[in-house]
Structure 1
């Protein structure tokens, strides 16, 4: 039975990786996931997975996040991550740790990120990421790459974010390479209660993908999040609720036109 389980799960994961087009396994925080995968203009701990430049806005206190997503209702296809950030006079620093897999196949992602404010309205960021892959009966592998991020505030209500991940082609296995990603987008905040994100993401191997997210804050402690992505179509919806001062619990689901519905949950702690 176990010999049949591994190839089945491997095929399922390959299908969701190709559909996601965002890395070996999707790297995400729960807020970004429920906003259609947008977040290039996110700040502090919210920018840890989406744009390292956002770490430049980290307060001088520790912030942390954790998220998990399960697909097909299978525990073997659970993706989880934890992260932390801290701001200093020299900029903001972040730590990423993510995992996916089961006994026979395991992927781990670890990264260090840094963001710095260069001018009043312009930030840059850099992250170094390593991917470890362990497969039963095969040799383990470890691959490393890096990414760059930028954020520019045009006016107080409008920002531009951009990110390049793995700009140089890096071979992972024979004829298989680490994903190369390029993304750029806008974030518009017409009021204190509404944030709208619109982004385009391009993987070197796949078609251009458009992502749109809307966050509505009807109350100080409540966030309502919607998102949509193309190629393949995804729709997302979820809520974030600040259960105590600084600690937010988020939950929601993503509907994928090929893979169906999969739920996600997350925690975020920060002191603004």
Structure 2
């Protein structure tokens, strides 16, 4: 059932006013390491790629799982939660499923994604995801829409990679005159050493100005990584800490948006090493 635009107008506008329209458009699935990096996450090659660039799932070699939770702008009732599972589908590919939900009791968006990542050569991986969105507003009903996302990762040369990803490339709407987010990301990764990784990139939401992002990952210890990040649109800074425990990783992060405040997040991932 599609929403009656007159019925949803007032509550929807109130929600946008409450958290900020620009910020709401930016709320999508993202691993905690990506949140700590201000959205720089599209060259990752592990289970957390399920939340960012599905091409990175090509490196999954055994059962893997990841989850995160964010309290958006410290609003008591506004949460953003994600879960991902993946299994190898051959020597150089993996399949998986992920789930994401965000919002408050009166307004909530759920999404289920079926993912696939495949290595096309020693330096090139492709990924795709089919999405099923459900948006509901309390007392007014719900709407559903099918969409998809695509991405690739290319290792240009040793220590330097590019990741490209697009969400909802067809600009599909979940109901009339209300399109799902269409977001294009290009990330660059420069692995200077085993201790230091520099990242940069750009993001373009169809409804907003282009944003530039930068991140630093510094391994102060084989088991501890410190992350700093910044992005211009929406203007924010972020930081985080990752704890690497063999096949497990524990993540924590916080992002600061000038008008809206902090968004803390935490998560974990498990990836079987063979």
Q: Same fold (TM over 0.5)?
A: yes
- Listed one character per residue, the Cα deviations across residues 67-125 of structure 1 (whole Å, up to 9, x for unaligned) are 11113433311111111122231611121101123333222111011111111111111
User: Which of the numbers 11, 16, 25 marks the counterpart of 2:16?
Assistant: 11
User: Which of the numbers 233, 243, 252 marks the counterpart of 1:241?
Assistant: 243
**Cα separation, 1, equivalents of 2:89 and 2:136:** 36
**Cα separation, 1, equivalents of 2:18 and 2:53:** 25
| 1:231 equivalenced with 2:233 (yes/no) | yes
Task: Give 1:77's aligned residue.
Answer: 78
Contact 2:198 2:216 in 1 (8 A): yes
Of 246-255 and 123-132, the range deviating more from structure 2: 246-255
Counterparts in 2 of 1:56 and 1:7: CA distance versus 1, 3 Å: closer
Contact 1:111 1:129 in 2 (8 A): yes
| 1:257 equivalenced with 2:258 (yes/no) | yes
Task: Give 2:95's aligned residue.
Answer: 93
TM-score, reference length from structure 2: 0.89
Following TM superposition, by how much is the alpha carbon of 1:54 offset from its aligned partner in structure 2, in angstroms? 0.7
| Structure 1 gaps, min length 5 | 1-5
Task: Give 1:168's aligned residue.
Answer: 170
Contact 1:171 1:177 in 2 (8 A): yes
**Cα separation, 2, equivalents of 1:182 and 1:247:** 30
**Cα separation, 1, equivalents of 2:176 and 2:143:** 12
Contact 1:240 1:249 in 2 (8 A): yes
| Structure 2 gaps, min length 5 | 1-10
Task: Give 2:193's aligned residue.
Answer: 191
Following TM superposition, by how much is the alpha carbon of 1:14 offset from its aligned partner in structure 2, in angstroms? 5.2
**Cα separation, 1, equivalents of 2:149 and 2:101:** 19
| Length, aligned pairs only | 262
Contact 1:44 1:85 in 2 (8 A): no
Counterparts in 2 of 1:8 and 1:70: CA distance versus 1, 3 Å: farther
Task: Give 2:132's aligned residue.
Answer: 130
Following TM superposition, by how much is the alpha carbon of 1:12 offset from its aligned partner in structure 2, in angstroms? 5.0
Task: Give 2:32's aligned residue.
Answer: 30
Task: Give 1:117's aligned residue.
Answer: 119
Following TM superposition, by how much is the alpha carbon of 1:20 offset from its aligned partner in structure 2, in angstroms? 5.5
Task: Give 2:7's aligned residue.
Answer: none
Of 121-130 and 90-99, the range deviating more from structure 2: 90-99
Task: Give 2:145's aligned residue.
Answer: 143
TM-score, reference length from structure 1: 0.90
Counterpart of 1:48 in 2: which secondary structure?
Answer: helix
| 1:215 equivalenced with 2:220 (yes/no) | no
Contact 1:226 1:237 in 2 (8 A): yes
Following TM superposition, by how much is the alpha carbon of 1:196 offset from its aligned partner in structure 2, in angstroms? 1.4
**Cα separation, 1, equivalents of 2:105 and 2:186:** 37
Contact 1:240 1:251 in 2 (8 A): yes
**Cα separation, 1, equivalents of 2:187 and 2:231:** 13
Counterpart of 2:56 in 1: which secondary structure?
Answer: helix
User: Which of the numbers 41, 44, 51 marks the counterpart of 2:43?
Assistant: 41
Counterpart of 1:67 in 2: which secondary structure?
Answer: strand
